Amino acid sequence: MISIDALDASEREPPTARQAQVLDALEALFLAEGFRTVTVEELARRLRCSRRTLYLLAPTKEEIFMRVLDRFLARLRRKGWEGAKAAATPDAAIGHYLLPAIEAASKISATMIGDLDAHPPAKDIWVRHSRERMEGLRSLVDECVRQEIFRGVDSYLVAEVLWAGLRRVLEPEFLAASGLSLGEAVAELYALFLDGLLRS
């Protein structure tokens, strides 16, 4: 089983241009269809590459998926911070910080969510990513409170409530009962968070 540390180390060595293309194609496929049922042979056929090309990314299908997932989530974190830093005001920074996750959620299928939930190593990476995002959110909320854009709120409580909400909307039974897609549910949750709970 590949470790999170090993995944981080692999991403410190940039992929070749061809590997980046393959990783992008794998990401689109996994987000839409999950990873548990597809075989390496089928991946190679659909991506029009050799199995060797895939195994150069990682030694097993599960580890290939883990590398793709870690790369995908790292990009979301990076885009969130880039958007926040470019924002004109601290409250606008929060919106820009959250936007990449809203856009990404619209691409994630119910099958992918189920596969994540059923594969503990992948779920661990998702949880770590989400926790890092919540820590970033806390710092942005604290800045809004400091500048009196938001009323005095506890940023730890805010982040934990949002984290709990995100965990809930990721559950397949919630999406089925609500009739919302994941993208719609995340967008609604963030709108409630920004416009309903925090703004004075």
66: number of CA atoms within 13 Å, CB side? 24
Task: Rank 74-83, 136-145, 152-161 by mean pLDDT and report only the highest.
Answer: 74-83
What digits encode the pLDDT tens for the residues 34-67?
A: 999 999 999 999 999 999 999 999 999 999 999 9
Dump the DSSP string for 61-104: HHHHHHHHHHHHHHHHHHHHHHHHHH-SSHHHHHHHHHHHHHHH
Question: For 4-198, CATH number?
Answer: 1.10.357.10
Give the separation between CA 91 and CA 65, rounded to whole angstroms. 35
CB 99 within 8 A of CB 76: no
What average pLDDT does the chain have? 86
* Inter-CA distances, 104 with 48, 77, 99, Å: 25, 11, 9
Amino acid in position 119: H
What pTM value is reported for the model? 0.81
2: number of CA atoms within 13 Å, CB side? 24
> Among 45-54, 77-86, 113-122, 160-169, which stretch is predicted with the lowest mean pLDDT?
160-169
Instruction: Provide the sign of the torsion angle of the four alpha carbons 182, 109, 104, 121, taken in this order.
Output: positive
> Among 14-28, 115-129, 162-176, which stretch is predicted with the lowest mean pLDDT?
162-176
**Residue matched to tokens 């299908």:** 61
